[in-house]
Amino acid sequence: MSRRWLKLDTGVVQHFDRALGALSDTVQTGTGATLRALHGTQGWRGVLVALCCAIRDPAHDLVAGNLTRKQIRLPAVFGNRVIGGAYGWLKAVEARLLEYRLAAQLSDDPDRAALIYNGSLFPESVLASVADRLNRERLFIEAGFFPGTLQIDPRGLNAANSVPRDPAFYLNSDTDFAAPGLPDLLNQRATKAKGPDPITLPESYIFVAFQVPSDMQVTLHSPWVRDMHQFYNVIRDAAERQPDRVFVIKEHPSFPLSVQGDITPHPRVIFANTNVTRDLILGAQAVITLNSTVGLEAVLMDRPVIILADACYDIDGLVLRARNAQDLDHAIKRTTDWMPDAALRRQVLGWLWNHYLVHARYDDLPSDLGDRLDRQLNRSDL
């Protein structure tokens, strides 16, 4: 029999309710719903005690990602100490109250596992924390690396996931992981700006893929480069040290703010926000990214990739890594005669496509989703 799940009312995973049916309970996370649930199990006295405890000890650690995200996206508002402080405190009180409710619900139902969307932001961060503290089984969910796929992983997502990093796992296996096929469709990314025509690309260049600075890939998994302004400065300084190199940057189309008004331009660091990402990868001598899925797309297109942050595809022989300016200079020089190991590339991509990612979408889930989740939780190769 399939395992039973507890999930939250996050809109992205709303279709899991229908797909799982009676195997899933969804918790409403609004403060009113939380207080009503506490009243139903503990009465008014329990509600007052919970409120006093939450006010006295707000869960700031469980909402830190939300505050950081607001400060990055709306710096003029949430960069204000009063506004940012008030927002952070209110969210932290909400998080503590939700923590009390989820802890009670999971304690009353010891066989139920937690189904968590991303887990880095409130309210999902609360479910992740409570399930971990109570030693409950967990699965983390997020969009996959290729179109029509999902990451569903018991350990975490992206750099924190269970993808093996040892090249021997892939090269020493008797299984041809790519035998069923490799992905042939890439994410069609929107352009950052509307109106201007794509630029004419230089004959030789290194493509630099910017990312969303408020995303967990940057805030949690990028210890060297903390934002896109710093990323630009890293590339500009590299251009100064390597006068024969041209760098073409594309900012992430889903992030509303551009760095271009706040930087010192460089003649060999060019922005190509209206160009198609696939074309930028195909024409590049190499690709530099922090840890974006653009890096995997570049590996799929057999391009040298340099990553500056923690990534699940940080595998020796598949990509080059740089954790400081000296490393970056060395990696850039290597791209003139370095390519990903062909056998390793095939095996890694095949394992991700055929053995790791779940072929589904948030709004188009398999009818046997409960069994699929059980298999992901119990896999021996993760």
Domain CATH for 242 = 3.40.50.2000
Q: In this structure, how many other beta carbons lie within 10 angstroms of the beta carbon of residue 61?
A: 11
If one counts the domains in the chain, the total is: 2
pLDDT in tens, 248-273: 999 999 999 999 999 999 999 999 99
Helix crossing, 60-73 with 81-108: angle to 10°? 140
**Tens of pLDDT along 214-257?**
999 999 999 999 999 999 999 999 999 999 999 999 999 999 99
The answer to whether position 146 is within a domain reads: no
Domain identity same for 107 and 193: no
Residue 100 lies in a domain: yes
Q: Say whether both 39 and 117 belong to one domain.
A: yes
**Is the residue at 208 inside a domain?**
yes
- Rounded Cα distance between 245 and 223, Å, is 26
**What's the confidence (pLDDT) of residue 292?**
97
Query: Is the pLDDT score of 142 beyond 90?
Result: yes
Asked if residue 130 and residue 59 are part of one domain, the reply reads: yes
The residue with tokens 């095939």 is 346
The type of residue at 280 is L
Task: Evaluate whether 328 touches 290 at the Cβ level (below 8 Å).
Answer: no
Half-sphere exposure of 350 (CA within 13 A, CB side): 17
First to last CA, the chain: 22
Domain limits for position 59:
5-136
Domain assignment present for 39: yes
pLDDT at 381 over 90: no
Is 187 found in the same domain as 39? Answer: no
251 and 349, same domain (yes or no): yes
Are 92 and 227 in the same domain? no
> Is 84 within a domain?
yes
Answer yes or no: do 116 and 199 share one domain.
Answer: no
Do 187 and 131 lie in a common domain? no
Same domain, 268 and 349: yes
| Residue 110 sits in the same domain as residue 192 | no
Reported as a single tens digit per residue, the pLDDT across 196-219 is 789 999 999 999 999 999 999 999
The per-residue pLDDT for range 46-79, each reduced to its tens digit, is: 999 999 999 999 999 999 999 999 999 999 999 9
* 213 plus 289 within the same structural domain: yes
pTM, two decimals, is 0.94
pLDDT-derived band at 380, boundaries 50, 70, 90:
confident
Is 375 inside any structural domain? no
> In what side-by-side order are the strands of the sheet with 247-250?
269-271, 247-250, 206-209, 286-289, 305-307, 320-321
Do 343 and 232 sit in the same domain of this protein?
A: yes
Give the whole-angstrom CA distance, residue 303 versus residue 283: 9
**In sequence order, which ranges of 220-283 are alpha helices (DSSP H)?**
228-241, 277-282
Average pLDDT over residues 151-164: 97
323-349 in b/e form (b: 16+ CB < 10 A) is: eeeeebbebbeebeeeebbeebbbbbb
Assigned domain for 322 exists:
yes
